[in-house]
Structure 1
């Protein structure tokens, strides 16, 4: 496995086109792997995520089974002249396995995850359930908390003396107002775009809501967490959701 970081040159028209279309960016990411056929049923999972740290500081992260070639992205949305220097090809790729192998139970890490928190509802009896996005931080945090244990981690809790609401506001054992856990939700984005079908003349609309979680976690099951980090968490993985990354906790 490999972890790749690419800085997007947001001043370029090609970058703006990619950033405005998850469908186009997904196609660009998959084009970085000449050995993968996107239409094959056994295509290995490729995860990607955009981090909007500032207006002019946007990073694309990719987790992939093979090393990518992002030359086409450098030409469209990077710094092609600077990339002529072999020491600065325009992106950084590192083997991911050595890091994954070092993960151990009980250690604490900072994490970031962009996800598509959804649930299934039935508006009235007799109707089939419908997949619907969670729209409030209250429920978006709950979505992640409900998945933490089977995903190999536990969200860290704040010390009691640092909570604004000592008693917390809980539901099913979880504090959805964010005062109990070291967890924040930000950058909610409502995305809407057209997806091509096999017949190019037919397109269908796709709408989804994404949010970014930042927080601290404790590893409870290293093997399960490795699966989460390499296979993703939640839905809409083709459109920049599901990729969790870890960093040393401050």
Structure 2
């Protein structure tokens, strides 16, 4: 497995086109792997995510089974002249497996995840359920909390004295997570785009980015989460979780 980072040159029209079309960016990412055939059912999933650190600074992260060749992305959305030096091709890629292998139970990491938090609901009795986006921060938090143990981790809780909301607070009849956890939900995006160049059907997604601290509860399951993704809409930039150290003595991903 490999983890790759590519910086988008937001001043270029090619970058702006990719940033406004998850469908186009997905195709560009998949084009980085000549050995992967989209029609092959045994193809290992490629995960990707955009991190908007500022208006003019956007990074593309990719987790893939092989090292990508992003020359075409550099030409469309990077700095081709700067990338002419073989030592600086325009992206950074490194083996991911050594980091994954060092994950152990009980270690704590900072994490980031962009996801498509959805649930199945019906408007009235007798109707089939329909996949529906969670729209409130409370429900978006709960979506992740309901999946944490099955994904191999536990969101770290704040000390009671550091919480602003008292324990027992409720929201619409449910326990309100408030600021109980080291978890924030931000950067909500409502996306709508054509499913393909030849289809008039529209894809509509609500995505959010989670930042927080997690504790590893099952290293093997967490490795699977980090390489296979969490939740729906993985082809459109959702599901990729990355970890970073909370102390300088730990590893980095």
Aligned twin of 2:85: 85
Aligned twin of 1:53: 53
Q: Contact 1:142–1:174 (CA<8 Å) still a contact in 2?
A: no
1:224 aligns with 2:190: no
In structure 1, distance between residues paired with 2:50 and 2:218? 27
What is the CA deviation profile of residues 94-130 of structure 1, one whole-angstrom value per residue up to 9, with x for unaligned ones? 1000000000000000000000000000111111001
Larger mean Cα displacement after TM superposition, 149-158 or 164-173? 164-173
**TM-score normalized by the length of structure 2:** 0.94
Q: Contact 1:195–1:205 (CA<8 Å) still a contact in 2?
A: yes
Change (3 A) 1:109 1:168: farther
Change (3 A) 1:126 1:180: same
Aligned twin of 2:44: 44
Secondary structure (helix, strand or coil) at the match of 1:113 reads: strand
Aligned twin of 2:11: 11
Secondary structure (helix, strand or coil) at the match of 1:37 reads: coil
Aligned twin of 1:150: 150
Aligned twin of 1:66: 66
Change (3 A) 1:217 1:130: same
Q: Which runs of 5+ in 2 are unaligned?
A: 248-253
- Following superposition, the deviation at residue 169 of structure 1 comes to 2.5
Aligned twin of 2:206: 209
What is the CA deviation profile of residues 104-162 of structure 1, one whole-angstrom value per residue up to 9, with x for unaligned ones? 00000000000000000011111100100000100000000000001000000011111
**TM-score normalized by the length of structure 1:** 0.95
- Following superposition, the deviation at residue 168 of structure 1 comes to 4.9
Secondary structure (helix, strand or coil) at the match of 2:195 reads: strand
Q: Which runs of 5+ in 1 are unaligned?
A: none
In structure 2, distance between residues paired with 1:154 and 1:183? 11
In structure 1, distance between residues paired with 2:240 and 2:94? 16
Match of residue 239, structure 1, among 219, 228, 236: 236
- Following superposition, the deviation at residue 174 of structure 1 comes to 5.7
- Following superposition, the deviation at residue 201 of structure 1 comes to 4.3
Secondary structure (helix, strand or coil) at the match of 1:203 reads: coil
Secondary structure (helix, strand or coil) at the match of 1:36 reads: coil
Aligned twin of 2:189: 189
- Following superposition, the deviation at residue 37 of structure 1 comes to 1.1
